[in-house]
Chains A and B, each alone.
Chain A
Amino acid sequence: MTPEGLIELDESVLSNGPHKVTRALVLLLTATVILGTTFIDVVFPLKQLRLQGAEARQYSQMRDNAHWSDGSLARFLEFNYRVRSRVRSAVGRPYANFLLNNLNEVGGNCVAGSDGWLYLRNRIEMAPGPMEIGPGRTAAETAFLARRILGLGMRPLLLPIPRKAAMAGEFLPISFESHREFDELVLDQYRRQGLEAVDVLPAWDANPDAEHVYQRRNSHWSTVGVRLAAEALARFAGMLAPEDKRLGVFRHRDQPARMGDLYSITNTTRGPGQMRYAEQAPYFVDWNGQDLTAGSPDADIALCGTSFSAHDTLAIFLSHYFGRPVQCFSSPGDPPEVSVEKLLQTRGPNGYPSVLIEEIPNHFPLSYAANPNGWKAQAATERIAQAYGPRHILPLALPIPVSVDNLEIGAERTITGGERLLDLPEGWIAQSGGGVVQFGLDLINPSGEATWRSSAGPSAGTRRLATNGGAIPFQS
């Protein structure tokens, strides 16, 4: 370094070096790599991805809200470039395969376990704070929705899907635990809310098939998982059709497994999680030549759910075990509430089915606990509440009149000293959709406690809640 602390560059020494060819080659190669990438990605970009469901909406929202003044345009351009870069696509895939096959290394939000098993990180890591938060809130919202469904004359049946980590925990890396108790807690919370929720864990645990209930390199269940869950649900609902009344028969086929959606998330293939069900099933239900995927518009059983059921496999197996056609409304990339809304809109004029099966993966409560503000189901639930609410409502204008000045609903506010938040006249129901009062108290900073007093109803009495972190939802 120079006496001033600057980087040393004695031109006389540097220029005497015997490396002029090296220099030329380095500059030429670097320029070729950089400018070549620029040229290829600008002139020959990949086609725009065809997104579905929530991913499509998020992309549209990102594009529509992009503005130079807040940097959102910059982020959108960077995202778009990344997704449409031909060089990235061409170079990234073999590199990702190399890393996965040789170093068991995956990128993105994935975790590589043993024996080729891949997991989504946000489905195996528990959120900080009490484990009950996510399941409690999800069960409350699901029960809220179920009351609407019941009110419309349908029998809601819930199919909670245990997480991949709960079933394939033995392949997780050493630092991760399967936390199967979380999945048991989810079921428990649903049942506490009086929901008819099937426990598929016993059926899955007893799986006699060589195929696992989850796909190794896909975030979704395997055909065996679907089949066992469908049978368990039919049995649980008391609607299991006798063998001779079932629709379709099993057929086996021998197809090599292809890459799963987790391969796409790890950049091994292109696209943000769109390659669902790419691992082919070793067997399927053949419905005597009829096309089950066309759906049954007048079916008496409807299925709502997520990408776990969006491609008709579950509907087909349910049809088999129920002995009746099942119409599928599930939507990939969306929470189940979105497809419930779709069902209500579609079937409303012609009469609702008598049974509504709601498939809801157990990572939803987990994602709620991890990110309460990003809870995706809320918008659809609120739309349903407005469109299909109870007939008699005592409206409570928002913001709720409270004794705390300028309290804004949903705003961050630290309250200490035990002020009274809400004082409802006797007999009133404050509703966020009929018979439900929900307050999310954020007691993260500072930690503290809240008291909920009610003189009537199932929550009569006083409950004290204390926390040292996390949002505590409670409802009456």
Chain B
Amino acid sequence: MVFASGVFLYFFLPIFLGIYYTLPRRMRSTVIAVASYVFYGWWRPDFVILMWVSTAVDYTAGQRITQAQARQSKGKPWLWLSLIVNLGLLGYFKYFNFGVDSLNDIFVHFGMPTMQVAKIVLPVGISFYTFQTLSYTIDVYRGRAAKVRSFQDFMCYVALFPQLVAGPIVRYNTVADQLVNRTHTLEKFYRGVLAFQAGMAKKILIADVLGGLADEAFAASHLSPGYAWLGALAYTFQIYFDFSGYSDMAIGLGLMIGFQFPVNFDQPYRSISITDFWRRWHISLSSFLRDYLYIPLGGNRKGVVRTYVNLALTMLLGGLWHGANWTFLIWGAYQGFWLVVERLSGKSSWYAFTPKAVQMALTFVLVIFGWVFFRAENLSHALEYFDSMFGLAGTHGALALRPIHAVSALAAVVVIWGTPTTQALLFRASIPWVVFLQFAFWGSLIHLHFVSHVPFLYFQF
């Protein structure tokens, strides 16, 4: 089920909230878990079983690790079990096809017979909830979190539908207390409604409208440079408003049921470097990769060369996390490359002395280049698109620009560079903003009636 759909908005959400607030507090975690299974299994009920497997394994692992630690043992085998099961499921469902296809390409190259295997369907959101369950086991193992109080709480944590399929990635130790004791106030609910409305408007009125333009651009064989840049810019806006819109909705829904989720975006297109960008973009993922991959690899504690290697490797795997495609790997490598370059150049480079506006503009262009890799079907497609952007393509095509694109693009520019973050606006909740938000929300509801539903981009990751 998706948030931006009639079934969710007019049936699932009111029924869920009605039941949630009617039942006593002690049953609310169970209500969330059951509702989340309905939400997740709406389109593919069989995939709920995978989530149950993950839940059961990590719950057991957490219990056993705690018991082992009480006996002065570390409980390492249980950590390994969790890693093998979770990463095994993720690897099989997400990367198996990619592996087979890549091997077949090699076989074909050498004239060898290829492997014939059935295509595996990727369960939505597996990358997100796998990381969450892993964070629980690892945190318990490291002693940074106590084992969960009850199985119901753990089911609730793993399946928590507001952020289940596209984040933010909620680490166990950040919500452990909230699973047991969370407050439900009208004020919190109100802010939750506002956040949800803001996310909805971002998704429907900006991301989806500009997404059509981006799709057209990337489907075109060759575009003239101006149109190619516009297409890349449209995707740059689309991915931000789609993903941050989802995160806002998730945060809002969380607040409606008393949860405070992590902030996931902090004006990333105002970054002054790629390093800065990764402090502001998909913060829950970058901090997860930092704490559970970069630092365990040694971080910056094992010499200069190893630091760069760790940095590049982390970004490479971060890219691969987004999808089983060489384009994501290249995108990760591209990000890693710039992180290394920025670290190498240090704070005394010429770049550090250029005006902030120039730094912001340069970073934005680098980010756009990255999104071309991210959006392209494959490497050759990405290179062809770059050809168009730089006028190297043989023929020149155009995009069907329409007034609605201009309206959405203008709104995108104003939101990105002219207004504070949703969180900041939420905190202030000034009357003009709230009134504007109501119109935007109603507009997005009406627009939702008009268009066919468009799934969130990050569902595929």
Residues of A within 8 A of B (CB): 1-2, 4-11, 13-15, 17, 19, 22-23, 26-27, 29-30, 33-35, 37-38, 41, 68-71, 74-75, 77-78, 81-82, 85, 87-88, 91-92, 95-96, 99, 102-105, 107-108, 111-112, 173-176, 267, 413-414, 416-417, 445-446
Contacts and interface: CB of A to CB of B under 8 A. Distances in A.
Interface string B64-106: 0000000000000000000000000000000000000000110
A92 B449 CA distance: 6
A392 B155 CA distance: 67
Contacts of A108: 451-452
B149 interface: no
Interface string B20-38: 0000000000000000000
Contact of B14 (A14, A38, A175): A38
Contacts of A88: 6, 449
B381 interface: no
A95 B446 contact: yes
Contacts of A8: 423, 427
A117 B39 CA distance: 41
7 contacts: A7-B261, A19-B434, A71-B45, A85-B6, A88-B6, A88-B449, A108-B452
A103 B404 contact: yes
Nearest to B193: A30
A107 B452 contact: yes
A33 B449 contact: no
Given A22-B434, A71-B42, A7 B251 contact: yes
B263 interface: yes
Interface residues of B, number: 69
Given A85-B6, A445-B104, 13 more contacts: A4-B262, A6-B262, A7-B426, A9-B255, A14-B427, A19-B431, A69-B45, A74-B7, A81-B6, A92-B449, A103-B407, A174-B398, A175-B399
Interface string B173-199: 010000000010111111101100100
Given A14-B191, A33-B445, A37-B10, A103 B403 contact: yes
B111 A26 contact: no
Contacts of A27: 186, 189-190, 193
Nearest to A71: B43
A350 to B, nearest CB: 47
B305 interface: no
Contacts of A69: 45-46
B220 interface: yes
B7 A417 contact: no
Nearest to A77: B7
Nearest to A94: B446
A95 B1 CA distance: 25
Interface in B188-228: 188-191, 193-194, 197, 216, 220
A5 B263 contact: yes
A78 B262 CA distance: 32
A41 B6 CA distance: 11
Contacts of A416: 108, 111, 113-114
A26 B6 contact: no
Given A416-B114, A417-B111, A6 B450 contact: no
B404 A105 contact: yes
B41 to A, nearest CB: 8
B349 interface: no
A413 B116 contact: yes
B156 interface: no
B410 interface: no
Contacts of A81: 6-7
Interface in B394-433: 397-400, 402-404, 407, 423, 426-427, 429, 431
A316 B216 CA distance: 42
B450 A173 contact: no
Contacts of B262: 1, 4-7
Given A27-B193, A74-B43, A7 B108 contact: no
Contacts of A30: 193, 197, 441
Contact of A5 (B9, B186, B283, B404): B283
B343 interface: no
B438 interface: yes
Contacts of B404: 99, 103, 105
Given A7-B262, A7-B423, A111-B400, A417 B113 contact: yes
Contact of B400 (A1, A10, A176, A267): A176
Contact of A92 (B197, B260, B446): B446
Contacts of A87: 449
B252 to A, nearest CB: 10
A5 B325 CA distance: 31
A61 B262 CA distance: 45
B287 interface: yes
B56 interface: no
A416 B109 CA distance: 11
B306 interface: no
A91 B235 CA distance: 29
A41 B10 contact: yes
Contacts of A70: 44-46
A392 B100 CA distance: 47
A175 B400 contact: yes
Contacts of B174: 4-6
A161 B161 CA distance: 51
A415 to B, nearest CB: 9
B142 interface: no
B124 to A, nearest CB: 11
Contacts of B295: none
A6 B261 contact: yes
B356 interface: no
A29 B441 CA distance: 11
A22 B220 CA distance: 47
Nearest to A177: B397
A446 B287 contact: no
Contacts of A14: 187, 191, 427
Which 7 A-B pairs rank lowest in CB-CB distance, beginning with the nearest?
A173-B400, A71-B43, A175-B400, A88-B449, A92-B449, A103-B403, A38-B10
Interface string B247-283: 0000100010000111100100000000000000001
A411 to B, nearest CB: 10
